[in-house]
Amino acid sequence: MSKIKAAIIGPGNIGTDLLIKLLRKAKYIEPTVMVGIDPESDGLARARKFGIKACDTGVEGLMKMPEFADIDIVFDATSAKAHIANDAALRKAKPGIRMVDLTPAAIGPYCVPVVNLEDNIDELLNINMVTCGGQATIPMVAAVSQVAKVHYAEIVASISSKSAGPGTRANIDEFTETTSKGLEQVGGATRGKAIIILNPAEPPVLMRDTIYTLSDIADKAAIEASVEAMVAKVNSYVPGYRLKQKVQFEEIDPQAPLNVPGVGKMSGLKTSIFLEVEGAAHYLPAYAGNLDIMTSAAMGAGETLAHHLLQQTANA
């Protein structure tokens, strides 16, 4: 079977884990180049061991490589600021190239594979994978939105401090802003709020996500069923994604409303969802579920896109 050739920019933890996932599991993508800026990078050295071409002169170097002519998809696992420059440079050199963005840059439309990946896939030149917290929590807000109108959604993503590298720490503001918008644009909430906690506990803890929604009063059993079905969908590509306990509900009386900061007084049905995300440990430790869910979602998005491109070629 022919495959779509791809490059990965960013040979750090996320880029290396993504490379290993693609090499082990991808049906429609063939990673051919790993791109970085440090000749001594462990990620580039590891790529070479896997038989992957390594470029240590960044995107400019990638565009000069003969392999670039055959690359149709580029995964960017750098930073929000770097991705903006990378996208502009690559798009100038090859206007139709497809980018899968694992940073919070949010150039392209927000994408959560189980919710909206196949919407307008022909126009998706830059697929924005939101954030790790977004990939974990937006599906839950979308699940509630399938049953009831969600007026407010708030998520708290708690991750091990050890799994938060320089890129994550440098993009905290972008994380909260991008995730909040994703809760609205993909999850369906009228207003969204995101909080991230870097937990320094030893031994390192697994990723935990808490999701609160305030919606119209609705059938609680229907919401619970929708949430469980969505968990199963995410679990199909992130096996460590699971509910920590049963979905909880509380009806907020209009006579005793909640005062939501920045929003005001609200009533209705409060739904509380508690998740745990354990990593697959392909390259990263099992506690780094926050990174694993990003690489798994990015591979899922890339595979769907590559399959679509191959079908287009076959039908041409």
Selection from 122, 76, 13 nearest residue 298 by Cα? 76
Say how far apart CA 106 and CA 118 lie, in whole Å: 18
The phi and psi torsions of 80 (rounded to 5 degrees) equal -60, -45
Give the start-end residues of each E strand in 12-147.
Answer: 29-35, 53-55, 71-76, 98-101, 126-128
From 100, 132, 186, 269, the catalytic residue: 132
> Known catalytic residue: 111?
no
Separation between Cα atoms, residue 225 and residue 221, nearest integer Å: 6
Of 54, 56, 57, 38, the closest CA to residue 46 belongs to 54
Which residues does 294 contact at the CB level (< 8 Å), separation at least 6? 14, 102, 129, 131, 132, 135
Q: Show which residues are catalytic.
A: 132
